[in-house]
Structure 1
Amino acid sequence: MTTNTIARSAFHPALAVNSIRNHITVILGMDNDQYPLWVALFTNHVKSNRVLHHIIKPKNGLPKPPSTDDEKELWETLDATVLQWIYSTVTNDLLENIVETDTTAMETWNRLADIFQDNRNSRAVTLE
């Protein structure tokens, strides 16, 4: 069976998720300190659905790019699915800060990390 045939015939588990809020019950917002909890729940979910590489670069570098049209289509579909999961688990205020046209799930994931990790020092001062 060729990779092309596998891409067409295989149903990816990430595509079976009907409601992400059933799996990630924390809604991330700018005014709460739940980023570490949200990250833990989200990364666990993407690992269990075999799409972690859509938000976190593998330790050995970038994954091999899709070589066929079918593989590229599946990759784009999975990336859009992960992006929808991110969008569905953040508040509207935060969503307005992270939504961009023609972006990937990894770019959005990194944008969120920048928002929350860059604010870490100012948040610590505020808490003190």
Structure 2
Amino acid sequence: MTNDTISKSAVHLVLAVNSIRNHITVILGIDNDQYPLWVILFTNHAKSNRVLHQIIKPKGGISKPPSTDDEKELWETFDATVLQWIYSTVTNDLLETIAEADTTAMKKTWNRLADIFQDNKNSLA
């Protein structure tokens, strides 16, 4: 969560996305080199829906943790939504590599994708 309280309109923005693939048309796969483009599309979409903090640490690296049950529930809803967006925009092979029970969008999934594609980039160089 950010230090600012998320308004109810932000919840509607996130939950109003019926098909993420209408917004992120690139399907990320382990064998393609579209990771940089996918990241641009994904982060722009997350920013426009006010959930960028779910995948990228806020400037300064510190965000205020949810303090009330309502804030925690809202954070978990945002996180699950962003996870679904990620899962819906990768190939099945990549999904099998990154999907994990009880994970978060940023900590495991987003960062794991970065590790996979950054390692591949270094290997190719």
TM-score normalised to structure 2 length? 0.89
For 1:74, what is the secondary structure of its paired residue?
Answer: helix
Which residue in 2 is equivalent to 1:3? none
1:58-86 Cα shifts (integer Å, max 9, x gaps): 12122101111111000000000000000
Which residue in 2 is equivalent to 1:121? 122
For 1:103, what is the secondary structure of its paired residue?
Answer: coil
Aligned-pair identity (%): 82
The alpha-carbon deviation at position 123 of structure 1 amounts to 2.4
1:4-25 Cα shifts (integer Å, max 9, x gaps): xx87x81411111010000000
Structure 2 unaligned residues grouped into runs of 5+: none
Output the CA distance in 1 between the equivalents of 2:71 and 2:115. Answer: 30
Which residue in 1 is equivalent to 2:109? 108
Question: What is the Cα-based RMSD across aligned positions, in Å?
Answer: 1.4
Which residue in 1 is equivalent to 2:8? 10
1:24-83 Cα shifts (integer Å, max 9, x gaps): 000000110000000000000000000000000112122101111111000000000000
Which residue in 2 is equivalent to 1:88? 88
The alpha-carbon deviation at position 119 of structure 1 amounts to 1.1
Structure 1 unaligned residues grouped into runs of 5+: 1-5
Output the CA distance in 2 between the equivalents of 1:43 and 1:123. Answer: 25
**One-letter code aligned to 1:29:** G
Output the CA distance in 2 between the equivalents of 1:96 and 1:65. Answer: 30
**One-letter code aligned to 1:115:** I
Output the CA distance in 1 between the equivalents of 2:115 and 2:85. Answer: 19
**One-letter code aligned to 2:121:** R
Output the CA distance in 2 between the equivalents of 1:123 and 1:36. Answer: 15
Figure out how many residues of one structure are paired with residues of the other and give that number: 118
**One-letter code aligned to 2:73:** E
Which residue in 2 is equivalent to 1:43? 43
Output the CA distance in 1 between the equivalents of 2:113 and 2:122. Answer: 16
Which residue in 2 is equivalent to 1:29? 29
Which residue in 2 is equivalent to 1:57? 57
Output the CA distance in 1 between the equivalents of 2:37 and 2:124. Answer: 16
